[in-house]
Chain A
């Protein structure tokens, strides 16, 4: 039987991001709201302990890598290799996040004993030297050019801070929630990882008319869609000839013809800065 490798989607696009400009970060990136207020900082009692790191890695691969990626390089959750968090840098912050989760985000809480949380943290800290991954804090293009591009090309389908279209996901805190390479891949090859919530479905009526849209809801008897014009559709399945599930995303792929490397860099810089409200 298959041994599962939790490898998240391919990181083919890391290469294109390799011209890192290691200069000063925009202020709101370096010091997000709510960060840096640990007066009662606790140190990890298991820091650097090789056994703890080994065990922490087992927990991480099992419980965290489906979202944060193998070696914490990022996936549907942010990369965790910079050791820096949107919420503060110290071990106390990490400890709280890992044991309690981040309510209101996709980050779940665990049911670990304290020493198990410290093992995971020891493992995460041991990663800080991994190369070839661009952390969110290292991406520096032109933020304002990126924002302008976004308004022109993207906001028809995406909301940021309550403005924009509703076909795609709200991106108001996408910079906190995803790694840079994931964001880059979302833009270049949107169809690579379409979450179930945004499954593209084509409903074919008995008369042969086709309606493509994002699935809002499906069950044994019915189907509800939002089409590209943000219209709602509802059918009973018995009135449809066919329901087709498509692998593609309703978001177009933005290749280099449409979006240059420079423009992508600017967009990513803007997206990385979107970290929502303080939780």
Chain B
């Protein structure tokens, strides 16, 4: 499909004039999602084209119609009810007026972004018994060309026609009966779709795959655990590398200048018991930089060598071009589950390490390993933060992250590997009645210094969106969608959705009206300013 000159002009002019858009009121001005567009995703803020809103993992939008002065007038515009209750973890995509979401159990749906009405639905047929540790969740789709892509719980990658939901191709990446699965939103770059596998609790051998967007043919695979003879294999005692897990279950980032993709790698298996897999267990709990063309490893950094607390480093890597030490530098920031932020600053409640040593390794405190009688450690198995998206705002220069303050008792139970059976090697328990807490933090990404803190009643599972309207949006476990002042953390607005939020809000615009979207419970809520507020400010 090609673009008319008029449509092209319209898109280019969006940030200058919202009026141009109103000409198309009521129409979908749908166009191919080219790689060019994805590269410049930030320049069309009315869309949300990738999992993180851009390739750098910022989860930020240039839209500013909704701002500190009017956010109190946000009101629900529509609600979409999905088919299943559970953890509705999707980050929707919005492409030219159409929203693409995935629901629990791998249903993909295209919605009219103005009304929330479904345009098509695709239900991926799942085998009777799929294996997952943490619910039949899916975090979203990727768009490229005329297709959208979904990675499924039975370890398939599926390409759908973005117009109809028809299957264009469907490939099996691995055997779901052994615990391989996908829960992440794929990352589309160039002519290909990148996915990382889930199954860290089943003794899989993790990998990241690239598939041709056009055909589904596999271009490369990067095993997150080196095989015999490859460097790093010696960091696994015996043949533990075969079932060492190290999944890659969250969407990575991409740097087009270096042509590198950055991906977070998960915990080694069995999660809690480490004596059968002595060594650093590379590349578990690392961020890896891979050549996007070949999948070859360029470098890695390991946050938690020989992890025994299930502190995956899968979380979204955030790429920043900033001055560091007086020079412009390419930086990668990750809010890591182990509670030691990349820049050696400690967050709040962690009891297992004394910061990061000169060699980049955490200085582990004695007695923090799980034990048969139980060892009390902070953070809990859920980590100081988890898969929920952090956000970087170029406007404030702050890095925003939702953090969990929770501790647990870690018990080891050595366990032989059995195909398809959960392979924890232990368990964790909360102390009865010990209340978890949480907060949304604004940090200086260069120093880790805390700029402000907004306290939650409970430890959150919702990510953060920052906008050029000087706002941050997030949500809590008691169901509030909240808007805070991005500079000060002051609470400006909230809305009770009626159910816990396990997702990161996103934003888009249609006909000059900005929307904020969040899933809660089984429903997807879309908010915008009340129409009278919009018109009184001369928007219409």
Contact = CB atoms under 8 A, between A and B. Distances in A.
A4 B374 contact: yes
Nearest to A193: B433
B455 A3 contact: no
At the interface, is chain B mostly helix, strand, loop or mixed?
Answer: loop
A6 B457 CA distance: 26
A114 interface: no
Nearest to B478: A219
Contact of B375 (A3, A61, A67): A3
Contacts of B476: 219-220
Contact of B371 (A3, A6, A219, A221): A3
Contact of A220 (B367, B376, B429, B457): B457
Interface size band for B: 20 to 34
Contacts of B457: 218-220
B433 A3 contact: no
Nearest to A220: B457
B432 interface: yes
Contacts of A63: 427, 429
Interface residues of A, number: 18
Contact of B374 (A6, A195, A219): A6
A207 interface: no
Interface in B372-393: 372-377
Interface of B: 351-352, 365-368, 371-377, 409, 411, 413, 427, 429, 431-433, 435, 455-458, 476, 478-480, 482, 491, 494
B351 A4 contact: no
A178 interface: no
Given A1-B376, A3-B374, A220 B427 contact: no
Nearest to A237: B457
Interface string A202-236: 00000000000000001111000000000000000
A76 interface: yes
A1 B369 CA distance: 9
Given A220-B455, A220-B478, A62 B411 contact: yes
Nearest to A116: B413
Given A1-B352, A220-B476, A62 B429 contact: yes
B480 A221 contact: yes
Contacts of A66: 429, 432
A220 B482 contact: yes
Nearest to B477: A219
A196 B433 contact: yes
A2 interface: yes
Contact of A1 (B375, B413, B429, B455): B375
A2 B409 CA distance: 10
A58 interface: yes
Nearest to A8: B432
11 contacts: A1-B365, A2-B376, A3-B374, A4-B375, A58-B413, A62-B411, A62-B413, A66-B432, A220-B478, A220-B482, A221-B494
B101 to A, nearest CB: 26
A62 B427 contact: yes
Contact of A4 (B376, B427, B479): B376
Contacts of A76: 432
Contacts of B456: 220
Interface string A2-19: 111010000000000000
Contacts of A1: 351-352, 365-368, 375-377
A196 to B, nearest CB: 5
A63 B411 CA distance: 10
